[in-house]
A and B are shown apart, each in its own frame.
Chain A
Amino acid sequence: MLWCLASLSLTVLHIEHETIYLEKILAVPGWDAWLGNDELGRSVAKRLLAGARVSFFIAISVVSISFFIGTIIGISSAWLGGWWDRLMIMIMDLFMAFPGILLAIVLAGLLGPGISNAVIALSVVGWVGFARLARAQTLSIKQRDHVQAARALGTSTTRIALRHILPLLTAPLLVQITFELAGTIIAESTLSFLGIGVQPPDASWGSMIRDGMRYMLIAPHVVLAPGVAIFLVVMSINMFGDRLRDRLDVRIKH
């Protein structure tokens, strides 16, 4: 249990450590490069941190947008039922019947490269996970006594959704958020790697790997560093999500 908590806080600290660190570092240029320099003589360590900022910005925007849209659609679909529910189920099934990242690749490619377009493309496919989860959970919560009671008392629909349903959705949605974060970080770097995501002068871990590949045989560190960064962050978030799921599930059971 203690070990669990320790690694959990370590994971949290690791991520925060990174986000807080980068503003300070970026503010002080001229640091000697720890991880060597890339093909234009830029410090890989600093680009890594700048890439971290872009990556976290995109991941957090995409997950917030997806969370917002997905949850609203999920709750409303379960709550209202009828044709709206059927339409939403149809659309969700369509999105699920297809590897989402592929659609994101196509969209991002055609929208043109750039941070905001990457956010749009990833959000278009990101909301489905939240919507499905919120819908499934709301369907069961809807039948619970406290919601029925609130309804009988004439509480407005918005208020029921916000005060009586959403709090009960928090645990599963939180877990979903961690996994979507990890997925989005990989997806964003995939887009950038394919040359349809973040563009220079913005740094991205994906595009660093893409650019570095050309010089890989002379200077492997240019490719190794961003890869290790993606790998570590994604692994930490995944492990954090696993722990979170285990912990929250226990609480749900009791």
Chain B
Amino acid sequence: MPRYLFVRSLTALCVVLGICTVVFFLLHLVPGDPVDVMLGEAALPADRAALRQALGLDQPIFVQWWSYLINIMSLDLGTSIHSQRQISALLAERLPATILMACAGFATAMLIAFPLGIFAALRNNTAVDHAAMAFAIFGVSVPNFWLGPLLILVFSYWLGLFPVSGMNGVTSVVLPALTLGTGLAALQARMIRAALLEVLHEDYIRAARARGINETRVVIRHAVRNALLPVVTVLGVQLGALLTGSVVTEYVFDWPGIGQLLIDSIHKRDYPVVQACILVISTTYVVVNLLTDVLYSVIDPRVVLEQ
């Protein structure tokens, strides 16, 4: 186990650095010069050259790339071109909001998906099942930049239950969480239903019932636990969707998180901040996927972690 963790962490690190490399080169391939953005078109050539040198942009691209990787490894993310502030400080400001929203969205998704998936499987081919699956199709197909405004319209404007946007108080997190969670809830409900339907036909379920264990216990202890594995498998991948969704959702609800910082920085062509945001998001994604793999062995002791 420790050896496995070590090797996997090392691979994860390589993947993160690889992503940084891809993003780095893509950013440099894209036309558009940050120096132009900072100084404007009318700047003197001497000023441009000076700034270029100060930013290290005059060096060959491979040298720039190398020093970028070295900086990342020493956790130095640089300073924002636009606000001249330390990027790590900027991120530290924004991160809690994003984490709060992602967790709330995730919790919402699970709270919807589990009851829905379990009931749909237990009442297979009834109205409950069909309704649950209709919701699943709705959830997968509805774009969250539309669901957000829709929820604002209904719950904030017509019903006046929650604030329209911004982050203040507990109630303000409800609508973003719902917007973010619906897609994931739909996918998970489908997965849970499918996995549970398969498990419910297994012999050990019949055996458990034959032993007179009550139905709730059979479902929760014997069926759901065994149905969890395929559900956890896709969870890691779906978290990527959750992260992406959070960018859009933050934009809709004017939520002061990383996603909004990313979009802002793209508009301002603030390359270092864009790179840093991508770094944070991709690291989260890679780490979560690593944790999912480890989680397997906890849920299913039959899984032995190897290289």
- Which residue from A111, A195, A239 sits with its C-beta under 8 Å from B31? A111
Residues of B within 8 A of A213 (CB): 149, 252
Residues of A within 8 A of B142 (CB): 227, 231
* In the assembled complex, B146 has its CB within 8 A of some CB on chain A: yes
A209–B149 alpha-carbon span in the complex (Å): 9
A8–B266 alpha-carbon span in the complex (Å): 41
- Expressed in whole angstroms, the minimum distance between the Cβ of B137 and any Cβ of chain A is 6
Instruction: Decide if B146 touches A223 in the complex (CB within 8 Å).
Output: yes
Q: Which of A18-26, A71-79, A102-110 contacts B (4 or more CB under 8 A)?
A: A102-110
- Expressed in whole angstroms, the minimum distance between the Cβ of B17 and any Cβ of chain A is 10
Instruction: Decide if A97 touches B145 in the complex (CB within 8 Å).
Output: no
Instruction: Decide if A99 touches B285 in the complex (CB within 8 Å).
Output: yes
* In the assembled complex, B281 has its CB within 8 A of some CB on chain A: yes
Instruction: Decide if B243 touches A102 in the complex (CB within 8 Å).
Output: yes
- Expressed in whole angstroms, the minimum distance between the Cβ of A13 and any Cβ of chain B is 19
Identify the closest chain B residue to A117 (Cβ): B30
Q: Which of A41-49, A143-151, A164-172, A185-193 contacts B (4 or more CB under 8 A)?
A: A185-193
Instruction: Decide if B241 touches A99 in the complex (CB within 8 Å).
Output: yes
Q: Which of B21-29, B100-108, B214-222 contacts A (4 or more CB under 8 A)?
A: B21-29
* In the assembled complex, A114 has its CB within 8 A of some CB on chain B: no
CB proximity to A under 8 Å, residues B8-39: 15, 18-19, 22-23, 26-27, 30-32
A203–B281 alpha-carbon span in the complex (Å): 31
A109–B185 alpha-carbon span in the complex (Å): 29
Residues of B within 8 A of A112 (CB): 32
A236–B267 alpha-carbon span in the complex (Å): 34
Could you tell me the dominant secondary structure of chain B's interface residues?
A: helix
* In the assembled complex, A194 has its CB within 8 A of some CB on chain B: yes
* In the assembled complex, A141 has its CB within 8 A of some CB on chain B: no
A89–B240 alpha-carbon span in the complex (Å): 20
Could you tell me the dominant secondary structure of chain A's interface residues?
A: helix
Instruction: Decide if A97 touches B285 in the complex (CB within 8 Å).
Output: yes
* In the assembled complex, B141 has its CB within 8 A of some CB on chain A: yes
- Which residue from B22, B146, B262, B267 sits with its C-beta under 8 Å from A231? B146
* In the assembled complex, A131 has its CB within 8 A of some CB on chain B: no
Instruction: Decide if A193 touches B30 in the complex (CB within 8 Å).
Output: no
Instruction: Decide if A194 touches B248 in the complex (CB within 8 Å).
Output: yes
A230–B244 alpha-carbon span in the complex (Å): 18
Give the one of A105, A112, A206, A212 with max B CB within 10 A: A105
Instruction: Decide if B251 touches A189 in the complex (CB within 8 Å).
Output: no
- Which residue from B15, B30, B145 sits with its C-beta under 8 Å from A111? B30
Instruction: Decide if B15 touches A97 in the complex (CB within 8 Å).
Output: yes
Instruction: Decide if A106 touches B244 in the complex (CB within 8 Å).
Output: no
* In the assembled complex, B157 has its CB within 8 A of some CB on chain A: yes
* In the assembled complex, B207 has its CB within 8 A of some CB on chain A: no
* In the assembled complex, B80 has its CB within 8 A of some CB on chain A: no
A194–B263 alpha-carbon span in the complex (Å): 8
Identify the closest chain A residue to B248 (Cβ): A190
Please, what's the 1-or-0 string for A161-205, where 1 marks a CB less than 8 Å from any CB in chain B?
000000000000000000000100010011001111000000000
- Which residue from A98, A110, A209 sits with its C-beta under 8 Å from B30? A110
* In the assembled complex, B63 has its CB within 8 A of some CB on chain A: no
A137–B100 alpha-carbon span in the complex (Å): 41
- Expressed in whole angstroms, the minimum distance between the Cβ of B273 and any Cβ of chain A is 11
Instruction: Decide if A231 touches B143 in the complex (CB within 8 Å).
Output: yes
- Which residue from B140, B153, B244 sits with its C-beta under 8 Å from A223? B153
Identify the closest chain B residue to A193 (Cβ): B145
- Expressed in whole angstroms, the minimum distance between the Cβ of B201 and any Cβ of chain A is 20
| Listed A/B pairs (16) with beta-carbon separation below 8 Å | A94-B15, A94-B18, A98-B240, A105-B263, A109-B263, A112-B32, A189-B145, A206-B145, A209-B149, A210-B145, A216-B152, A216-B157, A226-B146, A231-B138, A231-B142, A231-B146
Residues of A within 8 A of B (CB): 90, 93-95, 97-99, 101-103, 105-107, 109-112, 124, 182, 186, 189-190, 193-196, 206, 209-210, 212-213, 216-217, 220, 223-224, 226-227, 230-231, 234-235, 238-239
Instruction: For the A-B complex with A110-B274, A112-B32 known, give 9 more contacts whose Cβ atoms are closer than 8 Å.
Output: A94-B19, A97-B15, A98-B282, A107-B26, A186-B143, A193-B143, A193-B248, A209-B146, A231-B146
